[in-house]
């Protein structure tokens, strides 16, 4: 089984490949890819948790006018993520029908997986990077000269060691753990991933019972990386990926924490449950061969009061909430 640039090995364990294109866009004007507003286009799927966190960071930092965004259809075909949401099925900036075209413009003989998020150099049409682990950090650290006034510090220097430690654990057991459970092809591999996932969720439940955010008293990179998995947990991972010890709604601290973030400006308008559900249930035909998309769960409860303000904390620290997004970027309202 191959899912984009990921696979299941001969033992039945899910393996996530490292990003093949790991160039960085740097503030150094002499870099191969220098920071330059208007030069690059971010390509995302609203269904993808790795792309979703790029959208959130970009919104919170106010980089919408510096880095444009293209949104793919949530359902790929064998040629990769496609721009069928745009007129004539072509991205209006890049002039291509598939993000794979940018991969091949960069490396014509490339035979690996095609993934999002991806950043493309508009003048050349070449892919710059698909390194989802580094891209959000670079938005915080390399693009600082173009952050909006009042942008929060999502990766504060003093907290970076703790943030890095937390996001490493969350990646291994939660962000990637749901995939290791869902795509396991052997019982023992599934058992190991499932137990690691819920042990870590129990750890997070305890950690978040007495504190509003994962690290420090403001929203950081760690919260964004956890949120994009939590928001998909009950709609997708609980049933589709067999992560069914309990639902997110049955973990009081985590459920309140997820709602707190969801209701924070910069998060809500990036969440599209329609794209999320249709992608997972219609693309992973080895898991769901009928392609039937469940009608549930009820998602109106994401807007219910969470009570997390009582724990203190300042969502944006010394900064301010982001303004309303451009009309074309209220992604939560998108429907096919």
**Average pLDDT of every residue of the chain:** 94
Distances (CA, A) of 94 to 2, 44, 46, 55, 121: 27, 13, 19, 19, 9
CATH node for 159-333: 1.20.1050.10
pLDDT band at 3 (very low <50, low <70, confident <90, very high): very low
Pairing of strands 68-71, 118-121: unpaired
Q: Give the three-class secondary structure for 165.
A: helix
pLDDT tens digit string along 158-179? 999 999 999 999 999 999 999 9
Q: Is 203 annotated as a binding residue?
A: no
Strand extents, DSSP E, the chain: 2-3, 6-8, 14-16, 40-44, 68-71, 118-121, 126-129
User: What pLDDT was estimated at residue 85?
Assistant: 96
Question: In the chain, where are the structural domains located?
Answer: 2-146, 159-333
> The tokens 């920071």 sit on which residue?
35
pLDDT tens across 11-55, in order? 777 777 677 899 999 999 999 999 999 999 999 999 999 999 999
- Output the CATH code of domain 2-146: 3.40.30.10
pLDDT, one tens digit per residue, over 260-290 is: 999 999 999 999 999 999 999 999 999 999 9
Active-site residue set: 48, 179
Residue 322 CB neighbour total at 10 angstroms: 23
Beta carbons within 8 Å of 283's beta carbon, 6+ residues apart:
3, 75, 76
Model confidence at 1, pLDDT cuts 50, 70, 90, reads: very low
334: left (phi over 0), alpha (psi -120 to 50) or beta: beta
- Check residue 206 and give its pLDDT: 98
């Amino acid at each position: 089984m191959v899912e984009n640039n990921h696979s299941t090995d001969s033992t039945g364990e899910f393996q996530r490949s490292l990003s093949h294109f790991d160039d960085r866009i740097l503030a150094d004007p002499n870099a191969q890819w220098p920071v330059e507003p208007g030069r690059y286009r971010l390509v995302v799927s609203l269904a993808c948790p790795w792309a979703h966190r790029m959208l959130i960071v970009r919104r919170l930092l106010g980089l919408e006018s510096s880095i444009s965004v293209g949104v793919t259809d949530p359902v790929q075909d064998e040629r990769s993520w496609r721009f069928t949401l745009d007129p004539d099925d072509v991205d209006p900036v890049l002039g291509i029908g598939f993000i794979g075209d940018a991969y091949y413009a960069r490396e014509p003989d490339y035979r690996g997986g095609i993934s999002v998020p991806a950043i493309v150099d508009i003048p050349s049409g070449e892919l710059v990077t698909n390194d989802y682990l580094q891209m959000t950090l670079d938005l915080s650290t390399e693009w600082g000269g173009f952050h909006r006034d009042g942008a929060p510090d999502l990766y504060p220097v003093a907290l970076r060691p703790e943030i890095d430690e937390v996001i490493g654990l969350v990646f291994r057991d939660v962000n990637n753990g749901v995939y290791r459970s869902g795509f396991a092809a052997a019982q023992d591999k599934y058992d190991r991933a499932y137990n690691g996932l819920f042990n870590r969720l129990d750890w997070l439940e305890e950690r978040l019972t007495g504190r509003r955010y994962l690290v420090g008293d403001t929203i950081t990179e760690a919260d964004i990386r956890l949120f994009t998995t939590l928001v998909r947990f009950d709609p997708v991972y609980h049933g589709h990926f067999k992560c069914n010890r309990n639902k997110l709604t049955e973990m009081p601290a985590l459920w309140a924490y997820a709602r707190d973030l969801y209701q924070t400006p910069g998060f809500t308008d990036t969440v599209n449950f329609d794209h999320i559900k249709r992608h997972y249930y219609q693309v992973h035909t080895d898991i769901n061969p009928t392609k039937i998309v469940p009608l549930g769960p009820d998602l109106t409860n994401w807007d219910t009061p969470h009570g997390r303000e009582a724990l203190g904390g300042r969502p944006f620290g010394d900064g301010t909430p982001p303004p309303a997004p451009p009309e074309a970027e209220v992604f939560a309202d998108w429907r096919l």
